[in-house]
Amino acid sequence: MRLLATLLFAAAVLTTIAYVRPPEYDEAYSIFLTSAHARPPWPTGVFTPTQVRALFIGNPGLGQIATDLRTGDVHPPLYFWLLDQWRHISGPGWFAARLLSVLVSLVGLIALGWAARLLKTPVLATILITLLAYGFAYTSITARGFALAQFFNLLGFALYVRHSRVGKSLPSFAAGLAFGAASFSNYLAIFTPLGLLGSQLIIHSTRGLHASGSRLSTVLTTSLGIACFIPADLYFFLAQRGSRTGQFAPFHLVHALELLAKDQAAALFGGLPLYAGSFAPLVIIALAVLSIVCAIAIIKHHNAARFTPTLTLTAAATPLGLLALGVIFNNTPIEIRYCAFSLPYIGLLCASIKPATLRNALLFTESLGIIGLAFAPATAQPQAAAAVAANSNAHILVLLPYGNDGVGIPGPFIAAAQPAMRIILIHGATLPDLSAEPRVILATLMLDDASKTAIPKIESELTQQWQLTAQTPLTRAYQQRGFHQQP
């Protein structure tokens, strides 16, 4: 009964956050890819959201999704294939798309609870610590492939632990298949099984063959299951390897370590320092102290929990893997959503820490971060807020930056705009003929390289013939000087 109540609580939390969070940049790729418009053909002139509603709806088919991913994206197809089928059932809405991630994450928490029970770790504490971690909740409500990859990893982990208890080969091979499916949902999910299997090989090498021979056999059987997905992964990855080459900054070790520490902490506690204003340094110190004390408690618990080294290496695999990718490809692929793959194993480590007041302090602190995820503007992307700010007068033309490829900025903005809002997309910094418009509103959304370059130039060009009359953090309203109504 307590487990059911915990899962119902998880469902309520994740569904609420999925509903209140505004649409995001990367989610637009999921929406349009599964609407047969991977790169939407927006009108070249003035249009309204009503007139482009069909671009958010479509029936691409699995083959077209695969082709679009191989030619213009950097992700494997499994999640998008599932999302395509889900949208046929649930409808084309943004919130409906997010509910797939919520549902998958809830099943993933069940798998996590199963693993915790097998490891004789407190089940409810494991689920709650994981659920309330900012990065897990965030990826659980986002219309991207992270939640599906996390679910398959958790299923694979639970099956692997199950094998270690019953000693049959089938669960370990099934675990490998689940891990392979995780990589076919998101390539970065592969670090979790690498950490798990790597830890088992280390244990094997430090013990006699007779004591650990079965462990080596388990690693090989699990690896065989993973290998079943490698050809499919390579089929997409090799075609995509040249896409978005400038997505991340060049790699510098010190910068990467700083970013990794910040994002890994944010994956647990969210943006708590952002809400503290001048008290942010104190909040950072408090979070660091809490983390250190929890780590000490885990180390003290090590002697009583023989699976602790494996959990530790499994949790560390993703951050270490991100650093390795940075060295290999000379970029810095470090973000909160990537760090989230380590969180369930941190949850397993923290569930048994004592005293209970320390564990409760961790849960309370995570809860504050989750509240911020749901309601704090500092952690939300601004496209929908900009649309709301521009909604004051539907007759005023809104100048909306096209961005890198017309997906991440226009998609969420248009989805949140009033149906009759007049919009024109600005490609680069070149303004269209605005001589017939007495007033315009510029959405100052600088969210990618193209918009960061274009917006200052657009503002500079507007000030030559237009007067700034009002502004918000996300919009600028201009009135044309000497405007004369054309006959």
**201, 261: one domain:** yes
Residue 309 CA to residue 314 CA, distance in Å, equals: 9
**351, 284: one domain:** yes
**390, 286: one domain:** no
pLDDT digits (tens, 9 = 90+) for 386-411: 999 998 666 899 999 999 999 999 99
Which segment of 28-42, 164-178, 253-267 scores lowest on mean pLDDT? Answer: 164-178
**84, 117: one domain:** yes
Residue ending a domain, among 379, 394, 411, is 379
**Is 486 a member of any domain?**
no
- Answer yes or no: is pLDDT of 46 > 90: yes
Helices then strands, counting H and E runs in the chain, come out as 22, 5
The residue segments making up the domain with residue 131 are 2-38+73-379
Which segment of 85-89, 127-131, 140-144, 165-169 scores lowest on mean pLDDT? Answer: 165-169
Mean pLDDT confidence for 129-134: 98
**Is 58 a member of any domain?**
no
**398, 350: one domain:** no
- Answer yes or no: is pLDDT of 309 > 90: no
The beta-carbon contacts of 405-409 under 8 Å, at least 24 apart in sequence, are: 405/39, 406/39, 406/40, 406/42, 407/25, 407/28, 407/29, 407/32, 407/39, 407/40, 408/25, 408/26, 408/28, 408/29, 408/447, 408/448, 409/25, 409/383, 409/445, 409/447, 409/448, 409/451
- Answer yes or no: is pLDDT of 165 > 90: no
**Is 67 a member of any domain?**
no
Give the pLDDT band of residue 299 (cuts 50, 70, 90).
confident
- Answer yes or no: is pLDDT of 105 > 80: yes
Give the pLDDT band of residue 306 (cuts 50, 70, 90).
low
pLDDT digits (tens, 9 = 90+) for 430-470: 899 998 999 999 999 999 999 999 999 999 999 999 999 99
**290, 434: one domain:** no
**422, 368: one domain:** no
Mean pLDDT confidence for 208-212: 51
Q: What does the pLDDT read at residue 421?
A: 95
Residue ending a domain, among 348, 379, 410, is 379
**Is 55 a member of any domain?**
no
- Answer yes or no: is pLDDT of 208 > 70: no
**Is 54 a member of any domain?**
no
**250, 296: one domain:** yes
Residue ending a domain, among 323, 356, 379, is 379
Residue 290 contacts residue 361 (beta carbons within 8 Å) = yes
**366, 444: one domain:** no
Q: How many domains does the chain have?
A: 2
**91, 22: one domain:** yes
**Is 64 a member of any domain?**
no
- Answer yes or no: is pLDDT of 212 > 60: no
**450, 469: one domain:** yes
**Is 246 a member of any domain?**
yes
**Is 218 a member of any domain?**
yes
pLDDT digits (tens, 9 = 90+) for 330-358: 989 999 999 999 999 999 999 989 899 99
**466, 347: one domain:** no
Query: pTM of the prediction?
Result: 0.94
Q: What does the pLDDT read at residue 213?
A: 57
